Amino acid sequence: MDRRHFVGLTAIGVAAAGMGIGCIPNGKKRIPKVPPQAVQAEKGRIRSILLHLGNNMWCDYPSESMGKTPEEGSALLEKKPDLSLICSDEVWRTVTDRAAGNGVNMIVVDLGEGLFYPSHPELAIEGTWSIEKMRAEISRLNALGIEVIPKLNFSTTHNGWMGDFSHMVSSKPYYRMCEEVIADVMEIFGHPRFFHIGCDEERADFQSKHQYKYVCARLDEYWWHDLFHLVDTVGKHGARTWMWSDHLWYHPDFIDRCPKSVIQQNWFYDSQNGGFDLSANTTSDLIRLKSFLTLDDAGFDQVPCGTNWVGGVRKSQNIGADDVIGKLVGFCHEHISPEHLMGVMMAPWDPTDAEHLDHLVRGIDLFSKTFA
């Protein structure tokens, strides 16, 4: 038995034993129902952080022909997938407790390979959270006043968590998988009111630049067809779609074609150190800054995203990014109408492990100062 088969069977056994999962007549596994989450962050006052349970959103996934096991295939890749979960339970607890103690009222969980999906047990890896474990954590966070929102990134740049399905984009099996994992997550999370679908950075040049060996990017009507499919699927479960907004930077028709019901998350990290002054920023980042206004003028609800992650010019100049989230919050309150500014997100963009604990805590502390 190879490792992939072993991990899949182990995950099935653990989750089924822990949750009492049975089968319905069509062969699919039943997920026990739970009531809706006990808390909801107030619109206009959402203070959210993005935390990573899984991390296979920045990797290639080896095809079957590369080796008998994922380990063998991964050896041929530059951006290797994690075959055991990086997220540390201790660090997760420390970070979420810090968030609750500093006024954060929403956590968006980037799930990836970190959660067991009954419809697709083959996506589990060593350490993947069972349904029981996730539900217990949601209850714990609700008790701390935190609403928990799921995120699955369906961008082809960030879909290594899909395993073999990352090589089947825009096919019938792919659409069916998307529908099934969304249904699983909605049930596991007690039918949350929002569902983040990612959909950022889907560009072939971006993938090549970052050493992806399997390059796949949907263009034009392919991209739109698949976006509409995801939005419709989320909507059928009674939730509102939430997505990254950077498609707008390169495609002005986004404003007219994207459904106004979709919550927009434009992000600006001032990576080129051009600043937050619309009249003074002369870098190519200016389009990102202007997009907050464009989305507001078009009537989209927004949850802008900032960070303490350091990129681009800031990294080369060793100036850090501690100032970004505070300046972003000020900019958004000045330029986005109150009826459409649902809140703000802080995304530290590091794994939830011991190596990055200080960075994660620092991000929460910087964020909390913006609404102290």
Sheet holding 343-346, edge to edge: 263-265, 240-244, 194-196, 147-151, 106-110, 46-52, 343-346, 305-306
- The values of phi and psi at residue 336, to 5°, are -110, 135
Q: pLDDT band for position 16 (50/70/90)?
A: very low
Is the Cβ–Cβ distance between 138 and 81 less than 8 Å? no
Tens digits of per-residue pLDDT, 325-355? 999 999 999 999 999 999 999 999 999 999 9
Tens digits of per-residue pLDDT, 273-305? 999 999 999 999 999 999 999 999 999 999 999
Tens digits of per-residue pLDDT, 219-278? 999 999 999 999 999 999 999 999 999 999 999 999 999 999 999 999 999 999 999 999
Neighbours of 229 (CB within 10 A): 16
- The CATH number given to whatever domain includes residue 128 is 3.20.20.80
Find the helix packing angle between 89-101 and 131-143, rounded to 10°: 20
Tens digits of per-residue pLDDT, 35-44? 999 999 999 9
Tens digits of per-residue pLDDT, 123-160? 999 999 999 999 999 999 999 999 999 999 999 999 99
The string of DSSP letters for 242-280 reads EEE-THHHH-TTHHHHS-TTSEEE-B---TT---S-TTT
Q: Is the model's pLDDT at 20 over the cut of 50?
A: no
Q: According to the model, what pLDDT value does residue 265 have?
A: 99
Query: How far is the C-alpha of 312 from the C-alpha of 6, rounded, in Å?
Result: 41
| Residue 46 neighbours by CB under 8 Å, 6+ apart | 105, 106, 303, 342, 343, 344, 345
Q: What's the rounded mean pLDDT across residues 318-326?
A: 97
Q: According to the model, what pLDDT value does residue 29 have?
A: 62
- Give the three-class secondary structure for 344: strand
Q: According to the model, what pLDDT value does residue 372 have?
A: 75
Any bridge partners for residue 47, and if so which?
A: 344
Q: pLDDT band for position 30 (50/70/90)?
A: confident
Q: Which residues of 126-221 form beta strands (DSSP E)?
A: 147-151, 194-196
Maximal CA-CA distance, the chain: 63
Query: How far is the C-alpha of 181 from the C-alpha of 120, rounded, in Å?
Result: 7
Q: Higher-confidence residue: 253 or 24?
A: 253
Is the Cβ–Cβ distance between 352 and 92 less than 8 Å? yes
206's tokens: 């971006």
Amino acid sitting at position 240: R
Q: How many domains, in total, are found in the chain?
A: 1
- Give the three-class secondary structure for 164: helix
Q: According to the model, what pLDDT value does residue 65 have?
A: 87
Predicted TM-score (pTM) of the model is 0.93
Is the Cβ–Cβ distance between 37 and 146 less than 8 Å? no
Q: According to the model, what pLDDT value does residue 92 have?
A: 98
Q: Higher-confidence residue: 5 or 33?
A: 33
Query: How far is the C-alpha of 130 from the C-alpha of 122, rounded, in Å?
Result: 13
Would you call 342 exposed, middle or buried from its count of C-beta atoms within 10 A (0-12, 13-18, 19+)?
Answer: buried
124's tokens: 């589990």
Any bridge partners for residue 128, and if so which?
A: none
Q: According to the model, what pLDDT value does residue 28 have?
A: 56
Query: How far is the C-alpha of 370 from the C-alpha of 349, rounded, in Å?
Result: 19
Burial 272-304 (b: 16+ CB within 10 A, else e): bbbbbeeeebebebbebbbbbebbbeeebbbbb
Any bridge partners for residue 263, and if so which?
A: 242
297's tokens: 């003028």
Q: Is the model's pLDDT at 12 over the cut of 60?
A: no
Residue 115: which domain range? 3-369
Q: What's the rounded mean pLDDT across residues 71-93?
A: 96
Q: According to the model, what pLDDT value does residue 363 have?
A: 98
Q: pLDDT band for position 64 (50/70/90)?
A: confident
Q: Is the model's pLDDT at 89 over the cut of 50?
A: yes
